[in-house]
């Protein structure tokens, strides 16, 4: 279901009536949402709502049980996660998101393995260093010795090195200080505004998630129950009835 503000040409990802889970056990029963080009969309919901399962299904780590997913006008159902990564989709999980024994530089190089064009690799490297100067200062340092927040920044840097058009981010604020959380959020906004990249931000932290998103979807028990603009969500007196 595309947003009323977007026409078909503006929609990068469209998920319709998605059902997904593990084996034959469904966790996601009816999820629909869309993401526009250069748009940040937040998906909110409690633990167990099916948010992470939805991201894994979009990226290709899980097979959908029913429904459809279209990316840049093409059906995703028949593609592998490798093909989806090459087409410009990246996924940053909530945990185990860096290679701890490798240096920061080596982690970033691994993120660019699927980018054949050296000019694009160089562009992405400059972008990562510009957005996150701390990574440029720690290139020779083992990733596992960074702070938790710095590792989270590195994980997003790895994703950016793949030159994504759509970033799938699973709870980037988890275990991260407010300062680094804001740094990540500001970087996402810059990427959207200056590079036209899109992002799906899965969060439980409502206040953080609403700061830069244009639109919000709320999931409950494996279903999409609400679509709203971020402004409409910020204007609500309370959110308890949604979770």
Instruction: Mention every residue, 6+ apart, whose C-beta is less than 8 A from residue 207.
Output: none
- Considering only CA atoms, which of 59, 47, 11 is closest in space to residue 169? 59
Percent residues over pLDDT 90 in the chain:
68
d(CA 218, CA 31): 10
**What ranges make up the beta strands (E) of 135-214?**
166-170, 198-203
At residue 58, what are phi and psi to the nearest 5 degrees?
-60, -40
pLDDT digits (tens, 9 = 90+) for 64-104: 999 999 999 999 988 999 999 999 999 999 887 899 999 99
d(CA 107, CA 84): 20
pLDDT digits (tens, 9 = 90+) for 146-179: 998 899 999 999 999 999 999 999 988 887 888 8
CB 61 within 8 A of CB 235: no
Indicate the average pLDDT of the chain.
90
- CATH code of the domain made up of 8-238: 3.40.50.300
Chain centroid offset of residue 129 CA = 20
pLDDT of residue 4: 41
Band of the pLDDT at 206, cuts 50, 70, 90?
confident
pLDDT digits (tens, 9 = 90+) for 131-155: 999 999 999 999 999 998 899 999 9
Number of Cβ within a 10 Å radius of residue 241: 7
pLDDT of residue 44: 93
pLDDT of residue 138: 95
Lowest mean pLDDT across 28-32, 33-37, 211-215, 216-220: 211-215
pLDDT of residue 1: 40
Band of the pLDDT at 126, cuts 50, 70, 90?
very high
At residue 164, what are phi and psi to the nearest 5 degrees?
-80, 150
CA distances to 38, 43, 180, 182, 208 from 177, in Å = 26, 21, 5, 9, 11
pLDDT of residue 228: 93
CB 33 within 8 A of CB 12: no
Number of Cβ within a 10 Å radius of residue 229: 15
CB 13 within 8 A of CB 69: yes
pLDDT of residue 114: 86
């Amino acid at each position: 279901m595309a947003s009323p503000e977007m026409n078909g040409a503006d929609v990068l990802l469209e998920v319709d009536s998605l059902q997904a889970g593990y084996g034959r056990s469904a966790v996601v029963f009816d999820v629909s949402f869309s993401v526009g080009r250069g748009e940040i969309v937040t998906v909110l919901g409690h633990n167990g709502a099916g948010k992470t399962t939805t991201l894994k299904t979009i990226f290709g780590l899980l097979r959908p049980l029913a429904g459809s997913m279209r990316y840049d006008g093409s059906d995703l159902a028949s593609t592998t996660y490798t093909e989806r990564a090459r087409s410009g989709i990246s996924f940053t999980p909530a945990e185990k998101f860096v290679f701890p024994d490798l240096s920061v530089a080596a982690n970033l190089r691994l993120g660019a393995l699927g980018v054949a064009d050296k000019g694009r690799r160089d562009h992405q490297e400059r972008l990562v260093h510009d957005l996150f100067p701390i990574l440029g200062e720690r290139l020779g340092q083992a990733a596992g010795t960074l702070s938790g927040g710095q590792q989270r920044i590195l994980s997003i840097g790895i994703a950016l090195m793949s030159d994504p058009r759509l970033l799938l981010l699973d709870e980037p604020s988890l275990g991260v200080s407010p300062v680094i959380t804001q740094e990540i959020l500001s970087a996402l906004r810059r990427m959207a505004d200056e590079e036209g990249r899109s992002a799906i931000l899965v969060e439980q932290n409502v206040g953080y998630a609403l700061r830069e998103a244009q639109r919000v979807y709320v999931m409950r028990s494996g279903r999409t129950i609400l679509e709203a603009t971020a402004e409409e969500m910020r204007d609500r007196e309370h959110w308890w009835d949604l979770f």
